[in-house]
Chain A
Amino acid sequence: MSDAFLDICNVSRRFAPRISFGQKIAAKLGQRVDARVTHAVDGVSLTVARGEALGLVGESGCGKSTLGRVVAGILPPSEGTTAVAGEPVMAHGRKTTTRVQMIFQDPFASLDPRMQVGDTIAEGPLAHGLTTKAQAPAYVGKWLTTVGLDPAFAARYPHQFSGGQRQRIAIARALAMQPDMLVCDEPVASLDVSIQAQIINLFLKLRRELGLTMLFISHDLGVVRHLCDRVAIMYLGRIVELGETQAVYAKPQHPYTQALLDSVPKLVLADGVTTSFKPIAGELPSPLSPPAGCHFHLRCPLVQERCRQERPKLREVAKGRLSACHFAPL
């Protein structure tokens, strides 16, 4: 794709367990030592156009946060590369670009408790020459205002704020680096529902005003529908479906997406029609020993012999729609 702004190319991320010295000796002596590697992200390729918001959805443990951390330059990928506007995110295991910034799930953990929030916000821009010591207070004030906070809050410490306010501060910190792209890792999951709406509206406003590109990681299908142009569904380290949000929600092209949508609890309608929800049968298999063939075959209602043997490729099943199911289009 020529208009790729964020280019995630064949990224894998594996976690090897730390083997202690004692275990190494035990292994030498012929003992069995559990040293299986976790494939958190397994050969993912994605592109995001400039100004687009891509949702990344999946169950807990599917690798979506790991992928987000690779994109944000916190974790180096085991294989593959990520680039923003042609500029690699990391080089030699270090993050080199400032164009991607990350917003974390828990605003109680992502702000340094011993630093005034103004200093936290100004730290990065000062280090990268985006502002000067003399102009820093005004610069910080500007971004606090942008996220809907009083500039006077700059002199306070994180414990003096509520969860929603802290998340706004974390957003201001990311924006102060003047990024082109934000990676948001479940940014509203730890907030009250009423606060969630405010933060989502803030994201909508920021996208509109600053033209930000976003990778929005969530397990909440409703939030993604509200915020994202396209959505990628992830299962056990792989992308299983990708497409325009409306189209994917209207007509899923992968049985996992279908199951995810069915599992969303819905309200009882006024005329007495209840829309039941079905939880997905079975558990997410361990990424230590993923099933052969299609990762989803243990839980899939459409499973056939082929699914147990052959890994389905992610292929285009309609214009702009990718699915990793042997039987797509469904």
Chain B
Amino acid sequence: MKPASPLSRFWAEFRESKVAFVALAIVVALVGVALAAPLIAPQNPYALADLVLMDARRPPGYVGSGGFTHILGTDAQGRDLFSAILYGLRISLQMGLIAGFIAFVVGVSLGLGAAYMGGRREAFIMRIIDLQLAFPAILLALVLSALLGQGKAQLITALVAAQYAYFARTAHGAAAAERGKDYVEAALSTPLPGWKVVFRHILPNCLPPLIVVATVQVANAIALEATLSFLGVGLPVTEPSLGALIANGFQYMLSGRYWISIYPGVALIVLIVAINLVGDQIRDQVNPRLKR
């Protein structure tokens, strides 16, 4: 008899929570439509030549000069909002995932390294990270974006700089607890080189809390990117993310053309809430103290 693998047991438990299951389905669906945006979207919002200014700021349901129905209306440039949201979702997710991944690698390496080395080097690294955590992430990201200018690479740099500290903090805490355990000492006394012990033994045992932080931080990176784009320091207007779409429509809010801001906003909220719900469920499952 083969015992159930830890992963399949985890999945079985995950499915028990209806909220988390629905949230996961929404995340998967949103990622799916974001990936398939060029296939689904009725219009390519980046093809500026295709835009017709006559169609600008039309309400949902308007049949435009392209011959199709703008189910969510159009924005100030005459772009089909539904298409723009799909492409915006694509960019938001891309930025969030890439920035989250790099921040994970950088932060976790620093946190694990600090916990393994100990002593002054640990104190030095962790105090810098504490210092950085004392500043609001948005402030740091804003300053960096302003200094680096617009563009995907610059934006990712700013997001990573604002977020790696959370990963470092979590990794350090978990690794410091593992560091003193017998199995780590056993591996070190073999002897094995330090980096092998860190990556083969300490890191796998620190993963559960890190996965939780990673989920939440991807959602935070998306929100942060949206905020930066809303403030106009994120991505260029030619490739609008959800945040930029909200910003574009903001000036028309009071003139009754609510749809330009509201629908991208709804997409953003649904995405972030769904990711957070999935993250919450994972956190509850990896934390044995919350087990029933």
Contacts and interface: CB of A to CB of B under 8 A. Distances in A.
B204 A127 contact: no
A95 B182 CA distance: 16
A213 interface: no
B136 interface: no
B187 A95 contact: no
B187 A123 contact: yes
Interface residues of A, number: 28
B196 interface: yes
A113 B196 contact: no
B181 interface: yes
A177 to B, nearest CB: 6
B287 interface: no
A109 B205 CA distance: 13
Contact of A173 (B3, B186, B196, B205): B186
Chain B interface size range: 10 to 19
A115 B187 CA distance: 12
Interface stretch (A53-61, A98-106, A251-259, A287-295): A98-106
Contacts of B152: none
A73 interface: yes
B192 A110 contact: no
Contacts of B182: 104-106, 109-110
Given A109-B181, A127-B196, A114 B189 contact: no
Given A104-B186, A173-B186, A112 B191 contact: no
Contact of A98 (B183, B187, B190): B190
B205 A101 contact: no
A96 interface: yes
Contacts of A74: 185, 188-189
B15 interface: no
Nearest to B208: A114
B93 to A, nearest CB: 30
Nearest to B181: A109
A109 B183 contact: yes
Interface of A: 69, 72-74, 94-96, 98, 101-102, 104-106, 109-115, 123-124, 127-128, 160, 170, 173, 177
8 contacts: A95-B189, A95-B191, A98-B191, A112-B201, A124-B187, A127-B193, A128-B190, A177-B190
Interface of B: 3, 181-183, 185-193, 196, 200-201, 204-205
